Structure 1
Amino acid sequence: MPEPLTTEATEAARALRAEAALLSIRGLSKRYHAPRGTVHAVENVSLDIPRGSITGLVGESGSGKTTLGRTLLRLVEPSAGSIRFAGEELTSLSDRQMTAMRRRMQIIFQDPVSSLNPRLKVKHIVAEGLRAHGIGSGSERRERVAALLEEVGLSPDQMTRYPHEFSGGQRQRIGIARALALEPEFIVADESVSALDVSIQAQVLNLLLDIRAKRDLTMLFIAHDLSVVDYLCDRIAVMYLGKIVETGPARRLVRHPAHPYTRALLSAVPQPDPLASRDREVLEGSIPSPLDPPSGCVFRTRCPRALPGCATEFPPPVAAGDGHIAHCINL
């Protein structure tokens, strides 16, 4: 049985990862106060995103993935914790300083329809960030927009059209071009292929890989499909009810999942061979309300291997080898 990491070992491992990390999160929480109580959307999350990598964030709907992604950019203000980007603490920046920082941090939204202003032409949508930051003249911005559209697989001649004149995949490419306009170092891609047909998903995923290689970008790719994340990402973090329950290199985590929640997610991925035998791990019930999360391990109410000790406290990290860590006392 793997041994839980000691406090010293945990801190040493985190220090090594943080040295190479573009984004380092410690104890990050986001809570919303509602009439019925406090919503624990993100609770005490610590995560390092290595420079130049694509880190996948997976989990069921309601796990807090989108809230975490938006909190990293301070589109949603954190309730507690630290967000360090390239060594700079984001939570201590003023609004003006954060506006300047957002040139280096951008987001690709989930819905390629509602995220684009239907009253603006594509050239104005893509150049919106350039105008907001006072970058370039009008002609320089048009040249920049034309180059960006070509980079994402669209024609510069299409810049005078409106969003409704494009397909879903083309609209998502416009959203990607807009995110690239300011030449950011870090991008949050929030479920950026989930609304697309499978064939179009593959094209957009390959586009993101090409952009990462060309620009040396760092990405947080939010998704619920582990097969997509396995294809695209270098590392994976699994999130359940506001907490990270497992992290590790993508290939190792998918081939050798340690946490029971990760195993259940993987067993739900459709297989191309209908005759292949497989051991399904079907979860009973639905994800609990973040208004009243379970004590201890938040997954224990649905876990087929839950022990009495799971209700006491959230499990410490357990090393599963090669940078692979899971929060479970029953490994």
Structure 2
Amino acid sequence: MSDQSTSEPIPGAPLVRLQNLTKRFDSPRGTVHAVEDVTLDIPRGSITGLVGESGSGKTTLGRTVLRLIEPSAGRIFFDGQDITQLSPREMNAMRRRMQIVFQDPVSSLNPRLKVGQIIAEGLVAHGIGTRSERRDRVAALLDEVGLSPDHMTRFPHEFSGGQRQRIGIARALALEPDFIVADESVSALDVSVQAQILNLLLDLRARRNLTMLFIAHDLSVVDYLCDQVAVMYLGRVVETGPGRRVHRQPAHPYTRALLSAVPLPDPHAARHREVLKGQIPSPLNPPSGCVFRTRCPIAADPCAAAVPPPVDMGAGQTAHCFYPGSSA
């Protein structure tokens, strides 16, 4: 892959702004701290990558941003409007501007519906266009995502994984959204197909001025695609900044550990590996203070006493760490 992402944050007011967003779930075993006190700006027209291990809360955050899951606390601003205050009817109208592409291109498509019906679902639900107009719209969307308009009469099982993901993208585009959450949308695909889908997302962003939250666990994919990155661990965002800067100058020890695990193109190249000890703790009982401290190679007494405040590292980069930039 050649690097096509931009290296600096896009200026101007963010399309999406999260302020102290929190989501907790009650369970028979206790309270699950899925998302804790997340503050994040997603610039208009940018692709923001959200990365972290499985269980870090990335998918919950993405769905909470869209209010597919209701937040426990905090605020979500979309184009300057606090959507946490919208009624169900008002939120239904807002959903035309925000869509999602799911991780699994198989289970996210109704196997009983033809492709044309799947892509047109949103248009029908919102009463947009006549049947003929919707058919023309679906044909144009299929062409835009690299499929044939003739495919609208076929069923999802007749397509490959990459083709099914293109169908999912077409469905997300049908309502002309401003914002898309792509939830691990290439993780189930072969590497060569991943590259095709990533290039499609870049083309769509440029052509439509889309804003995206791209959820992933692969930092090399995020480095290729995203303008900025937010690193998440056990429900909290621990580092944010321009994609290239975070990739080349990580300030948080968790970010450094994730990057050290990314394979290098040169099999003979040497690189220091920062292997994390233990497993990610349970969100039912997160550590006090810094949630990463139980696995952190530089943790000290202050890390257990309080949640680290954000530290400005310059050039738009922020790390939630008492010792940013330090190494073991």
The corresponding residue for 1:83 is 76
Q: Which 5+ residue runs of structure 1 have no aligned equivalent?
A: 1-16
Deviations 1:175-233 (CA, angstroms, capped at 9, x unpaired): 00000000000000000000000000000000000000000000000000000000000
Task: Give the superposition deviation at 1:286.
Answer: 1.0
- Equivalent in the alignment of 2:176: 183
Q: 1:217 and 2:173 equivalent?
A: no
Contact 1:28-1:81 within 8 A present in 2 as well: yes
**Equivalent of residue 233 in structure 2, options 240, 250, 254:** 240
Q: Are 1:312 and 2:309 an aligned pair?
A: no
Matched, 1:199 2:192: yes
Match of 2:242 among 241, 249, 252: 249
Residue equivalent to 2:6 = none
Match of 1:122, as an amino acid? V
Check whether the contact 1:258–1:326 (CA below 8 A) recurs between aligned residues: yes
Contact persistence 2:58–2:215 (CA under 8 A): yes
Q: Deviations over 1:223-281 (max 9, x none)?
A: 00000000000000000000000000000000000000000000000112121111000
Hey, what's the Cα distance between the residues in 2 that align with 1:273 and 1:73?
40
Matches for 1:257-296 after TM superposition, within 5 Å: 257-296=250-289
Would the aligned equivalents of 2:142 and 2:149 in 1 still touch at CA under 8 Å?
yes
Matches within 5 A, 1:1-331: 20-331=13-324
Which amino acid is 2:196 matched to?
Q
Residue equivalent to 1:11 = none
Structure 1 distance, partners of 2:12, 2:139, is 37
Contact 2:21 2:75 in 1 (8 A): yes
TM-score, normalised via structure 2 length: 0.95
Q: Is the 8 A contact 1:240 1:299 kept in 2?
A: yes
For residue 205 of structure 2, give the secondary structure of its aligned residue in structure 1: helix
Note the aligned Cα RMSD (angstroms). Answer: 1.2
CA contact (8 A) 1:18 1:48 kept: no
User: C-alpha distance in 2, partners of 1:18/1:115?
Assistant: 34
| Cα distance in 2 for residues equivalent to 1:90 and 1:45 | 16
Task: Name structure 2 gaps, 5 residues minimum.
Answer: 1-9
Instruction: State the SS of the aligned residue for 2:206.
Output: helix
Distance 1:232 1:220 in 2: 11
TM-score, structure 1 as length reference: 0.94
The answer to whether the 8 Å contact 2:12/2:44 transfers is no
Aligned residues: 316
Larger CA deviation: 196-205 vs 17-26 = 17-26
Secondary structure, aligned partner of 2:167: helix
Q: Structure 1 207/171 Cα, relative in aligned 2: closer, same or farther at 3 Å?
A: same
Q: CA deviation at 1:78?
A: 0.3
